[in-house]
A and B are shown apart, each in its own frame.
Chain A
Amino acid sequence: AQTVTQSQPEMSVQEAETVTLSCTYDTSESDYYLFWYKQPPSRQMILVIRQEAYKQQNATENRFSVNFQKAAKSFSLKISDSQLGDAAMYFCAYRSTGNQFYFGTGTSLTVIP
């Protein structure tokens, strides 16, 4: 099975500042998808952003963007202009060609007012 590693259990950022969450993965596949999900205290899983491995251009969704380095198998999430509502657990996820999703252990993000 593929593995997804998030090496930062906890991160903090000042409101309005920028923070980057790290994610690496291990795979032998060439075609796959990567995701970042946000989980607030309500535990609802919310899709933040999605990246297709065959696309070289990094995905962007408003204040959220990724730095996808396919050769390095790295997929980091950058949050710009951090807001209090961004405080949550963030999970990196990998979708295999077999339509299975593997999740990292999560990074808990605190936003400091």
Chain B
Amino acid sequence: DTAVSQTPKYLVTQMGNDKSIKCEQNLGHDTMYWYKQDSKKFLKIMFSYNNKELIINETVPNRFSPKSPDKAHLNLHINSLELGDSAVYFCASSEWGRDSGNTIYFGEGSWLTVV
């Protein structure tokens, strides 16, 4: 059983399109995240949700809109894709404030290429 799963794994799309990446975790965690990893492999936090509530919204263009229908899911929708959006997007989850190992678990990443 995959703990954090995200789909699609690979996505190639044209500039200007709108796309979504879905994420689900079966770990029972209450906090979920989206990270972006660019070509230099810098890993940057984009959003953080706790029990479906937005906790962190880093400096991200408003073309990026996360949605958390429940605490096991956090989807990422991107409007009007640009070349600079090409990256690997990681979904992750952890447990808030409880000693469950306090570890963050990552999905396998979604490789987005904008052409």
- Closest chain B residue to A45, Cβ basis: B106
B103 close to A50 (CB less than 8 A): yes
Contact residues of B between 12 and 34, Cβ < 8 Å to A: 31, 33
B109-A43 in contact (CB<8A): yes
Closest to B108 in A: A44
- B97 at the A/B interface (Cβ < 8 Å)? yes
CB <8 Å contact, A106 and B108: no
Looking at the complex, which of A16-24, A59-67, A76-84, A95-103 is the stretch in contact with chain B?
Answer: A95-103
Which of A43, A47, A52, A93 meets B108, CB within 8 Å? A43
B101 within 8 A of A: yes
Asked if A91 is an interface residue, CB under 8 A from chain B, the answer is: yes
Measured between C-beta atoms, what is the minimum distance from A23 to chain B in Å?
Answer: 14
- Interface positions, chain B 38-52, Cβ under 8 Å from A, are 40-43, 45, 48, 50
B-side interface size class: 20 to 34
B88 part of interface (Cβ distance < 8 Å): yes
How far is B102's CA from A52's CA once the two chains are assembled, in angstroms?
Answer: 9
Interface residues on A, range: 20 to 34
Question: Chain A contacts of B95 at CB under 8 A?
Answer: 99
**Interface code B55-71, partner A: CB below 8 Å = 1, 0 otherwise?**
11000000000000000
Specify which chain A residues have a CB less than 8 angstroms from the CB of B50 in the assembled complex: 99
Instruction: Give the residues in chain B near A98, CB-CB below 8 Å.
Output: 55
Residues of B with C-beta under 8 A to A52: 102
Q: Of B45, B55, B103, which is within 8 A of A102 by CB?
A: B45
State whether B102 touches A33 (Cβ < 8 A): yes
Q: Is B37 an interface residue (CB 8 A)?
A: yes
- A68 sits at the interface (CB 8 A): no
What residues on A are CB-neighbors of B42 within 8 Å? 105-106
**A93 and B97 alpha carbons, distance in the complex (Å):** 17
In the complex, besides A42-B108, A45-B106, 9 extra interface pairs with C-beta distance below 8 angstroms are A43-B111, A44-B109, A47-B103, A50-B101, A52-B102, A99-B31, A99-B95, A100-B56, A106-B42
